[in-house]
């Protein structure tokens, strides 16, 4: 108000009425300041309107470490800045120790006004929050680093649920962000439960779903009972999810060329089918690539992800990589720390699908097969994945004239370290089948034997070799004598 109006009002009303008028104007103009007047003998509540900066929906409550300014209207000797002590009290002039822990600025102003009311007539108290204390908050459940965290008062971002999740390393892939709970201790005892639905925040962008936190809050993120492949990419891209670029440790077992444990760096550029918005996050196909690709007998329709929850239980998720090859990008599930990918063995291989699977990004780029014996080019041959035995023989130049063309021997190193050897009847007119034209695997050995006629010829040659040498010696002597 202008100074002229101010002086006119002051000259026409009593001091107490004038003070209330000024209080009403200042309350409207400065909502972050708390005012209170000592209640009269009938204990009528004093006038007070308080809004904590940045948390209008959740008024700030005082605690040890806060710094406030207490103004006693027209009594400057009792006015000043003061800290909330460790026991949650303010040490004020004249009235001494006043407990304010857990009170809002409005409530604390009223308490102080009551205390000064014993010495002053209708005191008007103004409280202003100058600086906040560090906020200690606990977080448990499906986050990457559960525990307690201290958010400093100079943090440029307000302490909200999403801010806490970022500090705690982000949510896991099985976090139920629809039913997050904030447990808040009450001054009167017990806890207040606040339900938070961050899925609505992702869907609507409404910041009202991101609840502001207070000192002493505990945030619990439950486990999602079922993983939704459609929602997983959106959750992974959220600001409160695990940051992209961080490495994860996973295990890959079953029908892959190099089963074992692997550390997958999130920034590795290895192709894959993950949407570009997610960056290079670890996915199922990238894990299979890291493990050397799938084997020919891999059942890509029933790949399983085994995932441990924070409660110590295990969840299982099935992904169908054949649907992935047909365009369903959801099947390339995003992995998290500690996942195990299990690739089962197929009962039978569909020849029509073998070529498509061999060209997939999660198949090895090539396999090495040793072909020895009676072929045109004996030795190691590089072949495409899922190539059948017949094509392997042709890649080595086919049978030579000495080969036994009806059958070959296939030697294979098994996963358990044993070696299997079997005789396979060769029929170049056969398509891929387990009996006569099986798909080859890395490090297989194909042995092509000699035909019966070649074996007899070689045996006679060995037997007649000494005789032929003697005969040649006598011929040499006869020539010398001439």
Cα angle 108, 113, 116 (rounded to 5 degrees) comes to 130
pLDDT in tens, 270-292: 444 444 444 568 899 999 999 98
Q: What is the DSSP letter of 78?
A: G
Please, what is the average pLDDT of the chain? 80
Of residues 342 and 478, which shows the higher confidence score? 342
Q: For 48-52, 96-100, 439-443, which range has the lowest pLDDT when averaged over its residues? A: 48-52
Q: For 189-203, 289-303, 467-481, which range has the lowest pLDDT when averaged over its residues? A: 467-481
Residue 350 has pLDDT above 90, yes or no: no
pLDDT in the model for residue 458: 58
Beta-carbon count within 10 A of 239 CB: 12
Residue 22 has pLDDT above 60, yes or no: no
Which residues neighbour 395 within 8 Å (Cβ) at sequence distance 6 or greater?
371, 381, 383, 387
DSSP character string of 137-165: EEEEESBSS-EEEEE-TT-SS--BHHHHH
pLDDT in tens, 138-188: 999 999 999 999 988 888 888 899 999 999 999 998 999 999 999 998 878
Burial (CB count within 10 angstroms: exposed 0-12, middle 13-18, buried 19+), residue 468: exposed
């Amino acid at each position: 108000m202008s100074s002229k109006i101010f002086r006119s009002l002051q000259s026409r009303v009593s001091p107490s009425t004038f003070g209330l008028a000024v209080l009403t104007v200042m309350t409207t103009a400065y909502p972050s300041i708390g005012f209170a007047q000592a209640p009269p003998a009938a204990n009528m509540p004093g006038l007070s309107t308080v809004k904590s900066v940045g948390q209008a929906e959740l008024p700030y409550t005082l605690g040890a470490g806060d710094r406030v300014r207490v103004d006693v209207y027209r009594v400057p000797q009792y006015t000043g800045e003061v800290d909330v002590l460790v026991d949650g009290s303010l040490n004020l002039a004249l009235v001494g120790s006043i407990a304010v822990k857990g009170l809002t600025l409005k409530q604390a102003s009223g308490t102080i006004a009551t205390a000064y009311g014993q010495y002053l007539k209708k005191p008007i108290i103004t409280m202003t929050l100058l600086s906040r204390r560090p906020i200690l908050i606990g977080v448990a459940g499906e986050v990457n680093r559960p525990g307690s965290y201290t958010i400093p008062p100079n943090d440029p971002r307000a302490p909200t649920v999403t801010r806490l999740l970022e500090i705690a390393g982000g949510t896991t892939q099985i976090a139920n962000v629809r039913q997050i709970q904030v447990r808040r201790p009450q001054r009167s005892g017990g806890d207040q439960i606040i339900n938070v639905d961050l899925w609505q925040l992702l869907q609507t962008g409404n910041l009202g779903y991101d609840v502001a936190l207070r000192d002493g809050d505990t945030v619990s993120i439950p486990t999602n009972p079922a993983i939704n492949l459609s929602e997983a990419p959106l959750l992974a891209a959220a600001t409160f999810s695990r940051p992209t670029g961080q490495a994860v440790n996973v295990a890959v077992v079953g029908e892959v060329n190099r089963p074992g444990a692997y550390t997958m760096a999130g920034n590795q550029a290895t192709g894959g089918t993950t949407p570009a918005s997610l960056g290079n996050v670890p996915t199922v196909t990238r894990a299979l690539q890291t493990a050397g690709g799938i084997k020919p007998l891999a059942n890509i329709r029933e790949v399983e992800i085994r995932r441990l929850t924070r409660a110590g239980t295990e969840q299982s998720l099935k992904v169908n990589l054949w649907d992935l090859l047909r365009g369903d990008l959801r099947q390339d599930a995003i992995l998290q720390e500690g996942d195990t990918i299990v690739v089962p063995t197929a009962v039978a291989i569909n020849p029509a699908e073998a070529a498509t699977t061999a060209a997939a990004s999660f198949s090895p780029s090539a396999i090495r097969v040793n072909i020895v014996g009676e072929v045109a080019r004996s030795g190691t041959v590089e072949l495409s994945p899922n190539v059948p035995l017949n094509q392997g023989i042709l890649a080595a130049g086919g049978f030579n004239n000495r080969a036994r063309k009806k059958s070959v021997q296939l030697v294979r190193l098994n996963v358990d370290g044993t070696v299997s050897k079997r005789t396979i009847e060769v029929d170049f007119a056969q398509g891929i089948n387990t009996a006569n034209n099986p798909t080859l695997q890395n490090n297989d050995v194909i042995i092509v034997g000699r035909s019966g006629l070649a074996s007899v010829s070689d045996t006679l040659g060995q037997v007649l070799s000494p005789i032929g040498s003697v005969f040649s010696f006598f011929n040499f002597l006869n020539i010398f004598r001439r």
